[in-house]
């Protein structure tokens, strides 16, 4: 009986091993907190993949920078050691030059204009522009609009930015944007920004409402100026090496789940943005609604500096979309 029991146990282990091997596993890593709307949407996507494939395909998610920072995760995708990651479009310009379009201020007239672009031919081309770099854009997740927040100085016009040190992402175009608006751009890592604001290393920063709230930067910033200078989406990236290794059926399951997660994420994002603005206001932050035209006028020279380049052609194509 004991011998029979051992044989049965071994058979069960082998069968379990076969089941695990028969399932296609997609590893997805990112740097976001598990409370973030994008993380929740990727969990939703993973559930959909499992459901659609009846367990023959699954997505394992590693949040919070467990497997590295954004740049390291992108590099893992390029060599095929990681299947998927989520990054902001701005740092992507170091890998895909066309992505700098999202860091140029006042390219998009409003949120509706942005999504017409992202869901159209231009957006599709941008997602696939990283093919030569072994990077395939799978979708855009809503990251809202980025606006300035400051420690002591309210920003009502571009002239209010003069002399202020403003933290930006490590993006050349983001640096040029702040300089065009009159500020002094200071690249600092996200993790160091709270202390930098607290100690006066920088006078302000810029980001979307949920990030401003969840980072608790409102604790060391008195003003939030909703100038909405850029709409920088998040991008779900996949290694082309891994994508090309999937069957047509697996690609269909995955893309279908991703598309549904985009709709889900946009609902979560809208709710998170509204809650963030309410919470920071309750905490004492003064929310400002400046006239945007003076800001747009300040960056015209920046737009014109791209004349004769593919970026300027892209700017014109975007502007022509009604």
Question: Where would I find the H helices in 23-148?
Answer: 37-52, 70-78, 111-118, 121-127
pLDDT-derived band at 189 (thresholds 50, 70, 90) equals confident
At residue 21, the pLDDT reads 55
Phi, psi values for residue 221, rounded to 5°: -140, 130
Name the CA radius of gyration of the chain, rounded: 22
At residue 69, the pLDDT reads 86
pLDDT-derived band at 10 (thresholds 50, 70, 90) equals very low
Tokens of 238: 């996949």
Is residue 41 pLDDT above 80, yes or no? yes
Q: What is the pLDDT of residues 249-276, one digit of tens each?
A: 999 999 999 999 999 999 999 999 999 9
Q: What is the pLDDT of residues 158-177, one digit of tens each?
A: 999 999 999 998 778 889 98
Q: Quick one: average pLDDT of 294-318?
A: 94
pTM comes to: 0.85
Buried b (16+ CB within 10 A) or exposed e, 150-179: bbebebebbebbeebbbbbbebebbbbbbe
Tokens of 181: 């608006």
């Amino acid at each position: 009986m004991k011998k029979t029991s051992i044989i049965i146990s071994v058979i069960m282990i082998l069968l379990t091993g076969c089941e695990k091997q028969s399932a296609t596993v997609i590893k997805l890593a990112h740097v976001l907190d598990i409370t973030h709307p994008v993380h929740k949407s990727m969990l939703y996507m993973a559930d959909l993949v499992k459901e659609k494939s009846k367990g023959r395909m699954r997505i394992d998610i590693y949040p919070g920078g467990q497997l590295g920072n954004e740049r390291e995760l992108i590099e893992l995708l390029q060599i095929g050691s990681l299947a998927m990651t989520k990054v902001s479009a701005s740092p992507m310009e170091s890998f895909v030059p066309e992505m700098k379009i999202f860091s140029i201020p006042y390219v998009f007239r409003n949120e509706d204009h942005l999504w017409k672009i992202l869901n159209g031919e231009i957006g599709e081309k941008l997602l696939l522009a990283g093919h030569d770099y072994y990077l395939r854009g799978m979708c855009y997740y809503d990251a809202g609009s980025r606006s300035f927040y400051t420690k002591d100085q309210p920003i009502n016009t571009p002239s209010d930015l003069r002399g202020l040190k403003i933290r930006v992402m490590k993006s050349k175009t983001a640096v040029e944007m702040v300089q065009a608006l009159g500020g002094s751009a200071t690249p600092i890592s996200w993790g160091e920004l709270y202390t930098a604001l607290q100690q006066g290393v920088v006078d302000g920063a810029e980001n979307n409402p949920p990030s401003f709230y969840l980072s608790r930067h409102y604790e060391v910033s008195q003003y939030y100026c909703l100038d909405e200078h850029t709409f920088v989406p998040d991008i779900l990236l996949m290694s082309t090496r891994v994508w090309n290794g999937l069957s047509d059926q697996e690609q269909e399951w995955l893309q279908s789940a991703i598309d549904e997660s985009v709709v889900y994420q946009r609902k979560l994002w809208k709710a998170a943005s509204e809650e963030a603005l309410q919470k920071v206001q309750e905490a004492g932050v003064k929310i400002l609604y400046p006239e945007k035209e003076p800001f747009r006028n300040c960056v015209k020279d920046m737009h014109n500096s791209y004349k004769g380049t593919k970026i300027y052609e892209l700017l014109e194509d975007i502007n022509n979309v009604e």
